[in-house]
Chain A
């Protein structure tokens, strides 16, 4: 079991997963999102290479209406 902070909320996963799996598990497949891990951008092309670790802090964002 690992514990992460995702968009400010603590979440647990059974084991270390990569970001592609994280996206699938959270119904985000095919959505236009961007991900930051511990303050660094994770390029879309590298999702499969990034395995999440205990204590990681993720920000997952979308474009919304704004001025």
Chain B
């Protein structure tokens, strides 16, 4: 059995999905069901005070009894904001420890601020959180986050929400080769083949949101992503053939080809 283990818990799906940018909670729920994902990210935000008493709640559509929720620190630019957000998340979710840390450095690129990310990771690990961490595709930073005690490192494939795909497979490969904790591509996947490539490289999983939510048909794309991740994982386990650069090798027998009818 090809198990995927995060912080001691075993999952069968290697696809993790977000809950942002959907048309409504119904579409969110349907797409997530089609994706087969078991770990689902949520954001933590201020609630409306004293208005919209009947406003629907995301957690009614994505119940914590059915999914492993992964509260994130999206939108946080400082250690303090990120740590406080996840303490609130832990209280909100009844002591839930598994979290996604991201500390951003720049609103235009949403690139992570690695200095702040490392500091926040250290605090959160000490406080007993199981930290899955968004990182630049810098092998040194990824290793440092692992050494701090993060339960998974999640390098970007390209900018958050850009759909530009995997821009630097070589760095990802170094991170994967160095890591003793699961490595997940987080951010940048645009379509199914991007997810497959990530798994073929040896990533343990992929986390995505916009690639599904911003597709013309999110539910169909969620289904495509489920298959893409499964295909990539199977190809990785199967072990691809060696590349033979500029050297063809026929698949059919060379001998016994019928003769030409033209007289010589």
Q: Are B49 and A62 in contact (CB under 8 A)?
A: no
Whole-angstrom distance between the Cβ of B79 and the nearest chain A Cβ:
13
- In the complex, B126 has a CB within 8 A of chain A: no
Residue of A nearest to B52 (CB): A27
Query: What residues of chain B lie closer than 8 Å to A17, measured between beta carbons?
Result: none
Which of B25, B43, B51 lies in contact with A66, CB distance below 8 A? B43
Q: Are B91 and A62 in contact (CB under 8 A)?
A: no
With A65-B42, A67-B209 already in contact, the answer to whether A9 and B49 are too (CB < 8 A) is yes
- In the complex, B262 has a CB within 8 A of chain A: no
Q: Are B41 and A66 in contact (CB under 8 A)?
A: yes
Contact string against A for B residues 67-105, beta-carbon threshold 8 Å, 1 for contact and 0 otherwise: 001011010000000001101111111000000000000
Interface of B is mostly: mixed
Whole-angstrom distance between the Cβ of A48 and the nearest chain B Cβ:
16
Residue of B nearest to A11 (CB): B49
With A6-B49, A41-B87 already in contact, the answer to whether A65 and B44 are too (CB < 8 A) is no
Query: What residues of chain A lie closer than 8 Å to B210, measured between beta carbons?
Result: 67
CB-based closest 5 A-B pairs: A66-B43, A67-B18, A67-B209, A34-B92, A65-B19
Q: Can you spell out 26 A-B residue pairs with CB atoms less than 8 angstroms apart? A: A7-B47, A26-B50, A27-B51, A31-B47, A34-B91, A34-B92, A35-B91, A41-B87, A43-B91, A60-B47, A61-B88, A62-B92, A63-B42, A63-B57, A63-B71, A63-B93, A64-B19, A64-B58, A65-B25, A65-B58, A66-B43, A66-B209, A67-B43, A67-B160, A67-B161, A67-B210
